[in-house]
Structure 1
Amino acid sequence: MTNPQPAVPDDRTADETTEALRAAVQAGFPATVADLARLVRIPSVSWPAFDPAHVAESAQAVADLLRGTGVFELVEIHRAPVEGGDELGQPAVLAHRPARAGRPTVLLYAHHDVQPPGKDEDWETPPFEPTQRGDRLHGRGAADDKAGVMAHVGAIRALAEVAGDFDLGLSVFIEGEEEWASRSFGNFLREHREVLAADAIIVADSGNWNVSTPAITVALRGAVAFNLRIDTLAHASHSGMYGGAVPDAMLAAIRMLDSLWDADGAVAVEGLRGAGLEVPEYDDAQLRAETGLLDGVAPIGRGPILSRIWSEPAITVTGIDAPDVANASNTLVPGVRVRVSARIAPGQPADEAFAAIRAHLEANAPFGAKLRFEDVDTGEAFLVDTSGWAVEATRRAMADAWGVEPVEVGVGGSIPFIAELVEEFPGAQILVTGVEDPDSRAHSPNESLHLGVFQRALLAEALFLARLDAAPRPETGEPCGSGS
């Protein structure tokens, strides 16, 4: 597959199509939001401690929505084995219609599983009861990523209404375990490679610059996460009897973990490196407004703020297993377990980064504390090639849908499976888009979706698809959409 650039329809036809799609998206938007709300009500948390029946229910609901578009020859639910074992992953939805008349094939990706809600008291509205407040729909998964699912469904509905029985090839892959490390993702790709092969892949799982400016994500950090067990004693001992002579595990953990950062909070692990990406202006005031940083609390790190987020490593301790305050007794704690989550700059392999972090912790374990590294997860960083026809077509579609030129952004978070998509489909062009904005609070309490952003993102995708369908076959000697 050579990914030739499809020809562009003449301006008159393009203008008519744009306005017809705009009208179709607007007319169908209330139904799209209602369908999104029904998905949000399903607590499809993919983590092992939660009921997998909810993820299965969510997959079925997504499959029903895709069947309801009437455009696919195939809509199925599948579970692939997790990497390195016989256990099956969470259910994913697969849909497909083949390309005709030399049109390209586009693969649409999103995920229907969600993060755990956390404590109910931290939410202003119930996490799985979608609630509209002003321009925002609140609920777990309202933005990440059930809105991504519905952006695909809504765009397909609009395309079918305006274009009728179109020739564009479409495949849809709605994953069911993205929030739990996509453990069966690679096997799923390999099992269904023929159906998933495409000229362009839209990953609808990112965000926008703000509620009025769209963005194309061009850089993503990689990820390394692991559980670390720190032991110093064979059993607990009385802190009054032996405190001051015997190092407990909490002391060792605090001293060792503190070594991961230098005095200003920048990562201090030898072997972790930055990417040196150019970044736009972004000041402390904007950082405070978007993150809730308290007055008097200083940002951490060095250099431009967005460079710290997009192209430098970061390490966070996201959990600690230790006696809680309510059960704290006067004892020396024999063992502590922590969860360490690191973000890796584009350009550095994740395995190399984990090796550097492990070596640092082992070298800085105080008092001879014993360390065990468990449940290691890694995901690769990614840089998007912005030179292809698909990125340019996306820019035009976004500008027409939003009325503002898109910006290219990096994201501090990670979507590790994109590297697997590139490995499996090296000829496909990757487009990372999304429906979130800086106040969406994905993964946090009070997650929400700005409905204006949602409608504009949906329209941009519909325009992209419709224009590919309307473009004449390019004169290249090879069909665009061969999927090979």
Structure 2
Amino acid sequence: MATTGRGGGWSASLRRGNAVACRAMDTDQLRSRIHEDMPRVVDELSRLVAIPSIGYDGYDPANVRASAELTRDILRHAGVGADLLEIEGGHPAVFGSVPGPADRPTVLLYAHHDVQPAADPDAWTMPPFTPTVTGGRLYGRGAADDKSGIVIHAAALRAVRADGPLPCSVKVIVEGEEECSTQHLPELVRGHGDLLRSDVAVIADGGNYRTGVPTIGTSIRGATHVTVRVDVLPIAQHSGVFGGPLPDAIMALSRMLASLHDDEGELTIDGLHGFPWPGTQVPEDEFRDESRVFPEIELLGTGTIADRTLSKAAINILAFEAPRVDEVANQIVPTARAVVGLRMAPGEDYAGAVDRLAAHLRAAAPWGVRVQIDTEEPGAGYIVDPTTSAYRSARAALATAFDRKVVEMGSGGSIPLVPMLAETFPGIEVLIWGAGDHRSNFHSIDESVDIEDLERMAVAEALFLQSFEDADR
């Protein structure tokens, strides 16, 4: 019997076990519909990619609003009653719903419409906000992460609704601040609990292990960052007159940052959580090839690649602020800042890990320099339950859509909304998948998505939604 309206998970079993509960003719029809719909899907994604919806401070917020409005319109044209969900002091999300039978589960479809900055646009082979299709891929910022998720949801809903009403209730939430901040996430999720309450959440912000290899996500890491500032002087001073006795801020901050790892690259912060990764392993040669690291570079830390990317903490310096090289002057630099990124293993005491990082940096500060550390509320990690009915059905849908065995794999990335959904709606069954792959260059130059995988993911999601037709009442 389905559990609906309480966010308590879907307890129904499928009559066909792990098989997708739909007839072969239905599967062929869905494939055909979505294939014929792909010119529209690519056009929708291209129009989304053309909007530089960067949510960070210093970028035009009108672009994020324009992206939200286009997302709303795309969902409306897919039959979803969608509108903007305004967030006070933040960027708008988009929410919509399609009611289904009262005795069937409610499925929440998630994506986000904000994107990372393009960083150095001149380094891109193609302009980041000029969507370009070549070699079977669509290039542009957000093509994979995560505007592809929006068009997957729309395409799947159009395909299933062509046969009549949906076999389950569907809600759609498309976040507008996933990349830039978790500040307003509690308001979005907890503050709109009645709107978002669902039995199953389909998070279309994952990706496939390789092009054409269907992958269902099994975990995500927690994430946050701290901003550390070092001051040694109220103003810059002449390095010839005062250099020698006086330390400079860059020197001090560099020593603090270097103290975060030992000579083998292991983190030196005591008490961070980690565990041996029990699932699919990642060969080192594949990791090196995918990352494009120079061959002479040594990899940091110990344990398997999967341990180090999925189930152990990791720290990287995300930004460093000091005078630029082309602004060099013979002076003692008075102030320097850095942003330190922290990825945390699932199951970590996330707030405690941030405190330990901040305490370590303060203790490592040399020569009595002044230190200021600003923190943000950390996003938690999450481990997906692979025993749920929704997980089994989703895995079967992927296998059918891609016509090959499904890889079950964790992600070193973070989706802060997921653990908050699980906390707010105990028992909700979470699925993580997406159209990105090892060539998508998430957060880097030349981001792209494979168009055939985009189509296959839409088929998989349509099959998953259609499977509720044969769920036991």
| TMscore range, shorter length | over 0.9
Aligned counterparts of 2:458 and 2:171: Cα–Cα separation in 1: 17
Aligned counterparts of 2:109 and 2:20: Cα–Cα separation in 1: 27
SS in 2 for 1:411: coil
Does the Cα contact within 8 Å between 2:65 and 2:92 map onto a contact in 1? yes
Map residues 35-50 of structure 1 onto 2, 5 A cutoff: 35-50=44-59
Cα offset for 1:364? Answer: 1.1
Q: Summarize the Cα distance change of 1:11–1:211 in structure 2 as closer, same or farther, 3 Å threshold.
A: closer
Matched to 1:30, the amino acid is P
Give the length in aligned residue pairs. 464
Does the Cα contact within 8 Å between 2:216 and 2:406 map onto a contact in 1? yes
Cα offset for 1:282? Answer: 2.5
Cα offset for 1:266? Answer: 2.0
Aligned counterparts of 2:235 and 2:220: Cα–Cα separation in 1: 43
* Residue 83 of structure 2 corresponds to residue 76 of structure 1: yes
Aligned counterparts of 2:22 and 2:390: Cα–Cα separation in 1: 20
Cα offset for 1:376? Answer: 2.5
Partner of 1:208: 208
Does the Cα contact within 8 Å between 1:139 and 1:446 map onto a contact in 2? yes
* Residue 55 of structure 2 corresponds to residue 54 of structure 1: no
SS in 2 for 1:110: strand
Cα offset for 1:258? Answer: 0.5
Partner of 1:84: none
* Residue 51 of structure 2 corresponds to residue 22 of structure 1: no
Unaligned runs of 5+ in 1: 82-87, 475-484
Partner of 1:283: 283
Q: Summarize the Cα distance change of 1:294–1:472 in structure 2 as closer, same or farther, 3 Å threshold.
A: closer
Cα offset for 1:51? Answer: 0.8
Does the Cα contact within 8 Å between 1:98 and 1:169 map onto a contact in 2? yes
Partner of 1:64: 73
Matched to 1:153, the amino acid is A
Partner of 2:330: 330
Map residues 70-469 of structure 1 onto 2, 5 A cutoff: 70=79, 72=80, 74-81=81-88, 88-161=89-162, 163-468=163-468
* Residue 463 of structure 2 corresponds to residue 471 of structure 1: no
Does the Cα contact within 8 Å between 2:222 and 2:381 map onto a contact in 1? yes
Q: Among all aligned residue pairs of Structure 1 and Structure 2, give the percentage whose two residues are the same amino acid.
A: 37
Cα offset for 1:436? Answer: 0.8
Aligned counterparts of 1:268 and 1:315: Cα–Cα separation in 2: 10
Cα offset for 1:194? Answer: 2.1
Does the Cα contact within 8 Å between 2:317 and 2:338 map onto a contact in 1? yes
Aligned counterparts of 1:13 and 1:210: Cα–Cα separation in 2: 27
SS in 1 for 2:340: strand
Unaligned runs of 5+ in 2: none
SS in 1 for 2:145: coil
Aligned counterparts of 1:164 and 1:182: Cα–Cα separation in 2: 38
Matched to 1:7, the amino acid is L
Cα offset for 1:68? Answer: 0.8
TM-score by length of 2: 0.95
Aligned counterparts of 1:97 and 1:379: Cα–Cα separation in 2: 29
Deviations 1:42-71 (A, max 9, x none): 11111121111111111111111111122x
Cα offset for 1:157? Answer: 0.9
Q: Summarize the Cα distance change of 1:423–1:13 in structure 2 as closer, same or farther, 3 Å threshold.
A: closer
Cα offset for 1:165? Answer: 2.1
Aligned counterparts of 1:186 and 1:11: Cα–Cα separation in 2: 35
Matched to 1:224, the amino acid is T
Q: Summarize the Cα distance change of 1:312–1:128 in structure 2 as closer, same or farther, 3 Å threshold.
A: same
Deviations 1:109-164 (A, max 9, x none): 00011111112211110110001120211100111000011111111111112x22
Cα offset for 1:193? Answer: 2.1
CA RMSD between the two structures: 1.6
Q: Summarize the Cα distance change of 1:234–1:157 in structure 2 as closer, same or farther, 3 Å threshold.
A: same
Aligned counterparts of 1:340 and 1:143: Cα–Cα separation in 2: 25
Q: Which runs of 4+ in 1 moved over 4 A?
A: 9-13
Cα offset for 1:472? Answer: 4.5
